[in-house]
Amino acid sequence: MAKKKSKREFVWLECVECRQRNYRTSVSVAEGTPKLKLNKFCKKERKHTVHKIRRK
Ligand SMILES: [Zn+2]
């Protein structure tokens, strides 16, 4: 029997201020991609900024 697959998709976490893609993560797309906004550290600006999910 085949293993149960979880539908996961790799996405980027993009800084909304400088548009630098700082993080790559995977999210479940079973019920659509959640439009999350996360406070993450931006390496480029060297401060915490809002990052949003960006699907490829
Ligand atoms: Zn930034």
* 4 Cα–ligand 1 center, Å: 38
* 10 Cα–ligand 1 center, Å: 20
Domains of the chain: 8-25+32-55 (2.20.28.120)
Residue 18 predicted with pLDDT over 90: yes
Token pair for 33:
């991609």
Going by C-alpha positions, the residue among 24, 35, 25, 29 that lies closest to residue 5 is 29
Angstrom distance (rounded) from CA 15 to CA 36: 12
Q: What is the pLDDT of residues 22-34, one digit of tens each?
A: 999 988 877 776 6
Residue 15 predicted with pLDDT over 90: yes
* 19 Cα–ligand 1 center, Å: 6
Q: What is the pLDDT of residues 36-54, one digit of tens each?
A: 899 999 999 999 999 999 9
**Residues in Cβ contact with 31 at an 8 Å cutoff, skipping those fewer than 6 apart:** none
Token pair for 49:
């900024």
The pLDDT, as a whole number, for residue 2 is 64
Q: Strand 8-15: give its sheet, edge to edge.
A: 21-28, 8-15, 47-55, 37-42
* 53 Cα–ligand 1 center, Å: 14
